[in-house]
Amino acid sequence: MRLTLALAVLVGCAILVIAGIESSKSNDADWFGESLEPSRAAYPFELTDQNGNPFRLADQRGNLVLLNFGFTCCPNICPNSLASLAAARRALPEGTRDRVHVVFVSVDERDDIFDLKKYLPMFDEKFTGLTGSPELIGNTARAYGAFYRKDSKGPQGKDDYLIDHSTSTYLIDPEGNLRLVYKMDQLANTEAMAGDIRRVLGLPQGKD
């Protein structure tokens, strides 16, 4: 009887240990952003940055890119998103920040390089703003599943209108793969985003 009871206790303990290991594995596999498994090569766009220079995604190998679409006259979504991305970048170790590039693609034909150059430093001087022809912008947005259109309910003047647009941010890893997608309401959790970034870059978790 005692032997049977002892065996039952041992088996029970073994099950708990195994369950604990499996639970740890499961938690370790969780990402804050929506994970794209298997990851796929990110669309290799080429646009023009706020300094008038060509910007090629292929040239960003070795860096992590956080890609966001919007426009400089956006009243709230874009400013809030960019402010959160700036905070997430600041949450990283100082030596790591240069490997994390926030790239903002304007979907507004009114935005030129001068508008972007004036707008982005309000959030972070290291941010990159991109523009290009309507065709190139459209191809890039579609490739990432982003959308935009003139707001039919807003002002309808030639230069006085708002743009409805998607609000996701896309994480592209240093190998050029699209790995994670963040919804707008996730961006405010900058520490969790920083945790994902650290993990993608192979850095230990936690603050330094």
Q: Tell me the one-letter amino acid at 137.
A: I
Predicted local distance difference test score (pLDDT) of residue 7: 38
Predicted local distance difference test score (pLDDT) of residue 37: 85
- pLDDT-derived band at 208, boundaries 50, 70, 90: low
Model pTM above 0.85:
no
Q: How many CB atoms lie within 10 A of CB 188?
A: 14
Predicted local distance difference test score (pLDDT) of residue 206: 64
Q: Tell me the one-letter amino acid at 102.
A: V
Q: pLDDT higher for 112 or 160?
A: 112
pLDDT (tens digit per residue) in 119-166: 999 999 999 999 999 999 999 999 999 999 988 676 656 677 899 999
Predicted local distance difference test score (pLDDT) of residue 204: 83
pLDDT (tens digit per residue) in 36-93: 988 899 999 999 999 999 999 999 999 999 999 999 999 999 999 999 999 999 999 9
Do the Cβ atoms of 121 and 83 come closer than 8 Å? no
Residue 4 has pLDDT above 80, yes or no: no
Do the Cβ atoms of 144 and 182 come closer than 8 Å? no
Predicted local distance difference test score (pLDDT) of residue 23: 35
Do the Cβ atoms of 128 and 55 come closer than 8 Å? yes
**Could you say which DSSP state residue 111 is in?**
-
Residue 29, φ and ψ in degrees, nearest 5: -85, -10
Phi-psi region of 202 (alpha: psi -120 to 50; beta: other; left: phi over 0): left
User: CATH assignment of 32-200?
Assistant: 3.40.30.10
Q: Which residues of 50-85 are buried (b: 16+ CB within 10 A; e: fewer)?
A: beeeebebeebeeebbbbbbbbbbbeebbebbbbbb
Predicted local distance difference test score (pLDDT) of residue 175: 97
- Which residue in 151, 172, 153, 156 sits closest to 105, CA to CA? 172
The answer to whether the peptide bond before residue 75 is cis (omega within 30 degrees of 0) is no
Parse the chain into domains and list their residue ranges: 1-30, 32-200
